[in-house]
Structure 1
Amino acid sequence: MASLPPGECCTKGTKHEGTPKGTVEKIQNITTYFARPANPNGNAILIFSDIFGPIYQNVQLMADDFAAQGYLTIVPDLFNGDALSPELFYSGKVDFPAWLARHNTTTVDPIANIVVDHLKNTLEVKKLGGVGYCFGGKYVARNLKDGLLDAGYMAHPSFVTSEELSAITKPLSIAASEIDTIFTSEKRHESEQILADLKIPYQIDLYGGVEHGFALRGDLSIKEVKFATDRAFEQAVTWFNYWL
């Protein structure tokens, strides 16, 4: 595997301050957060979220930040109304392994297919980038090929298999955390070798002193975390500005 399955660290984090500016709409029956740019560049970004889905304020604010850079940005509900909330998870009433078993490739892939088709063929975006945080990194890999995503970015991915990473055909950027029991240094080096062998554009940036989840759920009151979070976002924007 290029990264290990999600664990408890996938659920840790801090709620970020701010008021989301987007709207919650439907793509067919899929609840989706839309962040529309004031000055659109014709391209779009599809965010494959972590386990908290599109209802999570942090990912909505992140979508707004991408929209401010000119990208139509959407966050679909990959979990068919069964996304976890931080409050529910921390209540201790969630059987996390059972929840993960309900939300695997057989249930998530069809949702991703509908959303990609809508963006490409209904909204007719010029180019489509994929962003994956934690759980969502797997689905960037699974869609990073001809006819689907045109470029991808993952932050501290989980559950990505070496076979999925080996199958990509489009440019990929990865933001990795130094302290990570899922995307470990061994898995990072394995991923680097796979990407180098593919002979496609790739980038892996390592952020020191931060933990898994920092790019979306980091405590921004900590200087080192805020620096890494800001730089990881800039990494993604720079990547898409070049490759889309």
Structure 2
Amino acid sequence: MASYPPAQCCTLGTKHRGEPTGKAIKLAGKWDGYLATPTEKEHKEVGIVYIPDVLGIWVNSQMMADRFAANGYRCLVVDVFNGDSLPLNRPPDFDMKKWMTQGSDGNNPHTKEAVDPIVEAAIRLMKEELGVKKLGAVGYCFGAKYVARHFSSGIEVGFMAHPSLLEEEELASITGPLSIAAAEVDYIFPAEKRHKSEQILAKIGLPYQINLYSGVIHGFAVRCDPRKKAERYAREQAFLQALAWFGEHLL
């Protein structure tokens, strides 16, 4: 694997303050989404699909989508968990593997077989209903896997932060530029996995970037504690990393 499966650290973090300004929508009439639309200076016919971590659509991901919209990108956060995302700060004894394979009720798995159709519906909505001609994608933790998997479905440029569950074959299958933001302390995407990912990306020969942020842990790009200077700085720089990457390769 290019990164390990999700663990307790994938739910830990801080809820950020703010009021989301986008709107709730439905994908294919059954899956939830959150759509943030630029009010000015829109990059016409360009959009971003946001594939979240295990916390799904919540205030942190909504406000990040709003920030992409404020920078001109129509941004759709997609509920890849079919209404079964996790709350913040699960206890250490939470059975993450069982939740991944079965869902909270035992009949709502969060495997690639269940998630792929939701991501594909998001891509279709952006391209067929919203008129997006050039599509980027961001994936955080759990969502990073599905950025890699869905270049084949219409994603042209990707960004991921602190990936989990990413297979080497999935990373090797990308067909467009990819940027990765990594944490110095990350048991899901440790140094050996980061270096292996670098080798894979170098072999592909497409534009790539891996930035390592010191003083932060897994999840920092979405769930950091903004009261801590190092975490706040790293979160902001990871967001600017994504913006710069899309500005270079998507526009």
- Above 0.5 in TM-score? yes
Whether contact under 8 Å (2:8, 2:91) holds in the other structure is no
Match of 1:119 in 2: 126
DSSP 3-state at the match of 1:74: strand
Match of 2:51 among 43, 48, 51: 48
DSSP 3-state at the match of 2:175: coil
Aligned identity (percent) is 49
Structure 2 Cα separation of the partners of residues 98 and 62 of structure 1: 29
Of stretches 125-134 and 113-122 in structure 1, the one that deviates more from structure 2 is 113-122
Match of 1:95 in 2: 95
Structure 2 Cα separation of the partners of residues 107 and 242 of structure 1: 33
Match of 1:85 among 77, 84, 87: 87
Match of 1:209 in 2: 215
Counterpart mapping for 1:103-142 below 5 A: 103-142=110-149
- Divergent runs of 4+, >3 A: 89-92
Measure how far apart 1:96 and its partner are. 2.1
Number of aligned residues = 240
Of stretches 96-105 and 211-220 in structure 1, the one that deviates more from structure 2 is 96-105
Match of 1:167 among 162, 169, 173: 173
Measure how far apart 1:150 and its partner are. 0.8
Measure how far apart 1:90 and its partner are. 4.3
Q: Any idea what the Cα deviations from partners look like across 1:108-143, whole Å, max 9, x if unmatched? A: 001111111111122121211110000000000101
Q: Any idea what the Cα deviations from partners look like across 1:7-49, whole Å, max 9, x if unmatched? A: 1111110011111111111122111011111122121110100
Match of 1:75 in 2: 77
DSSP 3-state at the match of 1:153: strand
Q: Any idea what the Cα deviations from partners look like across 1:56-99, whole Å, max 9, x if unmatched? A: 11000100000000000011110111111227x3496x532211
Unaligned segments of structure 2, at least 5 residues: 102-108
Match of 2:34 in 1: 33
Structure 2 Cα separation of the partners of residues 235 and 116 of structure 1: 23
Match of 2:104 in 1: none
Whether contact under 8 Å (2:139, 2:161) holds in the other structure is yes
Measure how far apart 1:179 and its partner are. 0.3
Match of 1:7 in 2: 7
DSSP 3-state at the match of 2:33: strand
Unaligned segments of structure 1, at least 5 residues: none
Match of 2:196 among 186, 190, 200: 190
